[in-house]
Amino acid sequence: MLIADPIDETAAARAALARGDLIATYDLAQTALAQDGGLAAAYLLVLALARMGDTAAARAHYAARGLDLARDVDSRALGARLAKDAAEVLSGAERARAFAEASAAYASIHDETGDAFPGINAASLALLAGDADAARARATQLLGDLPEPADFWGAATRTEALLLLGRDAEAAAAIRAALALPGSNPGARSTTARQFELLARGAGLDPERLVRDALRPPVTLFYCGHMFLADAAAEAELAARIDAVLDATPVAVAYGALACGTDILVAERLLARGAELNVVLPFPVDQFAALSVDPGGAAWRARFDATLAAASAVDIASPIGDIGDPAAFSYSSNIAMGMTRLRARQIGGPAKLLAVWDGAAARGVAGTAVDVAAWQDAGGEAIVLGADGLDRRLNRPKLPAAYDGPARAVMAVVFADFPGFARLTEMELPRFWRDVMGTVANVLDVHAASVRCRNSWGDALFAVVEGSAVAAELVLSLQEALARLGTGATLRVGVHYGAMFAVPDPITGQPTFYGCEVARAARIEPVTPPGQVYVTESFAAALAMAAPDRFACRYVGRVALAKDYGTFPMYRLSRVEH
């Protein structure tokens, strides 16, 4: 077995940070730390959490990894940055005091080392704390000390100092120059734009034009469209229209499938521009290719193989394979759309859909029309190109007999239990049953219209819920109701989202659900910390489509599930703080 080199993993984490892939940064830093990657890997892990907005987890790791004891500039400045992030969610005098403390932490580093990065942050946070004179004085000092910028960060520092001094025209020129310097990458531009937006909101500066025109984060794209036969002339015409869209819409990251026709053509154009391609397929590659690539002709298969090989990631939405259920395609598209939105949040830019569509209404549960409608219903911007001139007379394979097994449905599945239940005494059980499980039942009753199945045994809960947003509200309401109860009972909850069989239980006669997605959900709860809710990436993606402004899914890493079920990316569910 080859052991990962922590130096290689740390370098890969830095590269992921540069391209704005914060989840990959976190995972790679974790791998490096497991191989004694040291403070460099710990720094990247904490910075990834901070940029993802998980300040509490970042601060916990900062202390646990020993960064609070480090004396290098980067580690110390990261601690000050976490104090700044914590200040952002406060209000009034408390917010001003917290910004002043963060400014002082940065100022101490700048005064001791002369490093410009903590210096400019000290100046900006002084302004946010209400001390405009201190902000201007330090910005003036920095401008006098700064050499000619040699990289993006040097030019961005100069830009920020000029903004603090009200020299907007010079700031605009400085940030335009920054974009041509080394280090100008999506990650750097995104975090700089966020800093300028903070100044705009909190201090009344107006760098909006700079953010929009110069630092505008790139688009994260979901693409879809009709399948069609290979045709050089038709493809050239469509490729020109796709290129025109991409010229006007800079795309850094894209998600979609790889069916013959639109999918492959768009993916090829994106790869040619250096975009990161993430492929999401409804079932394993060979089955997908037989159904959605080969019908377009042999020429598409070679292009499919080449494009798939060039993709940065290939995700299979469901491990069960094709069973003749068309809902597998809509489920896969919905997950890909949600992943697009999740990644756009990391980068700090917009998420958009690009479709090649004839405008015809949907004729089933899946297809381009369904995808466009789902995206627009979720408030997303769609760019639609017409499908004129495309030969869609595919040579479809003879399909197996229509699926006639148990009904299947895409649902959220919840497993929960109370750690420590087995230690309750016999005389404590009636109160637990009455108060604790009674509270659980009351919360389920509130959402009864969407709860398709519920069951319990001892302290455990199993529920199947229609809709990711309802499921999120239900499980968080459970945690909140139990906290109000004041018994000290803490619930750990695992939630997944996928397609499963819906049948009557032969033992109880009540409706129930089963399948591999239910089995996966059952393996999450045992590894969830007490008092928390862990959800899968598919649930987080579905929630990003259904209720992005109400709930937050914070990445916690690749977690080994119970009973050797495998290692999967997991998220911690919470409400959005307003």
Indicate whether 443 and 467 sit together in one domain.
yes
Looking at the domain assignment, is residue 390 inside a domain?
no
H/E run at residue 472? helix 468-485
Looking at the domain assignment, is residue 376 inside a domain?
yes
Looking at the domain assignment, is residue 423 inside a domain?
yes
Indicate whether 268 and 329 sit together in one domain.
yes
Looking at the domain assignment, is residue 393 inside a domain?
no
Domain boundary among 193, 213, 233: 213
E-state strands within 282-375: 313-316, 351-356
pLDDT tens, 378-399?
999 999 999 998 988 888 776 5
Report d(CA 547, CA 543) in Å as an integer. Answer: 6
pLDDT tens, 21-61?
999 999 999 999 988 878 999 999 999 999 999 999 999 99
**What pLDDT was estimated at residue 234?**
94
Q: Left, alpha or beta for 348 (phi > 0: left; psi -120 to 50: alpha)?
A: left
Indicate whether 422 and 374 sit together in one domain.
no
Indicate whether 227 and 144 sit together in one domain.
no
**What pLDDT was estimated at residue 266?**
98
Indicate whether 190 and 252 sit together in one domain.
no
Check whether 272 has a pLDDT greater than 80. yes
**What pLDDT was estimated at residue 428?**
84
Q: Which of 354, 336, 373 is nearest to 262 (CA)?
A: 354
Indicate whether 198 and 313 sit together in one domain.
no
Domain boundary among 159, 189, 213: 213
Residue 101, domain extent: 6-213
Q: How many CA atoms lie within 13 A of 428 on its CB side?
A: 10
Indicate whether 236 and 174 sit together in one domain.
no
User: Taking the CB of residue 555, how many other CB atoms lie within 10 A of it?
Assistant: 22
Report d(CA 573, CA 528) in Å as an integer. Answer: 11
Q: Which of 81, 144, 140 is nearest to 109 (CA)?
A: 81
Indicate whether 39 and 122 sit together in one domain.
yes
Q: What is the CATH number of the domain that holds 337?
A: 3.40.50.450
Check whether 160 has a pLDDT greater than 80. yes
Looking at the domain assignment, is residue 402 inside a domain?
no
**What pLDDT was estimated at residue 490?**
86
Looking at the domain assignment, is residue 392 inside a domain?
no
Identify the band that residue 2 occupies on the pLDDT scale cut at 50, 70 and 90: very low
Indicate whether 513 and 487 sit together in one domain.
yes
> Across residues 333-343, what is the average pLDDT?
96
The DSSP symbol for 571 reads E
Indicate whether 442 and 331 sit together in one domain.
no
Q: What is the CATH number of the domain that holds 111?
A: 1.25.40.10
Share of the chain above pLDDT 90, in %: 73
Instruction: Name the domain count of the chain.
Output: 3
**Mean pLDDT of the chain, nearest integer:** 91
Least confident range from 14-23, 184-193, 317-326: namely 317-326
Least confident range from 126-135, 270-279, 444-453, 503-512: namely 503-512
Q: What is the CATH number of the domain that holds 489?
A: 3.30.70.1230
Looking at the domain assignment, is residue 394 inside a domain?
no
Check whether 578 has a pLDDT greater than 70. no
The DSSP symbol for 434 reads I
β pairing state of 407-417 and 451-457: unpaired
pLDDT tens, 420-434?
887 888 888 888 888
Least confident range from 151-165, 335-349, 478-492: namely 478-492
Looking at the domain assignment, is residue 398 inside a domain?
no
Indicate whether 321 and 263 sit together in one domain.
yes
User: Taking the CB of residue 81, how many other CB atoms lie within 10 A of it?
Assistant: 25
- What are the C-alpha distances in Å from 392 to residues 229, 230, 351? 6, 10, 29
**What pLDDT was estimated at residue 555?**
95
- What are the C-alpha distances in Å from 565 to residues 323, 335, 382, 509, 523? 23, 21, 38, 29, 7
Q: What are the tokens at 449? A: 């219209």
Check whether 473 has a pLDDT greater than 80. yes
β pairing state of 551-560 and 533-536: unpaired
Domain boundary among 182, 213, 244: 213
Indicate whether 78 and 206 sit together in one domain.
yes
Residues found in the chain: 578
Check whether 459 has a pLDDT greater than 90. no
E-state strands within 418-550: 451-457, 460-465, 492-504, 511-514, 533-536
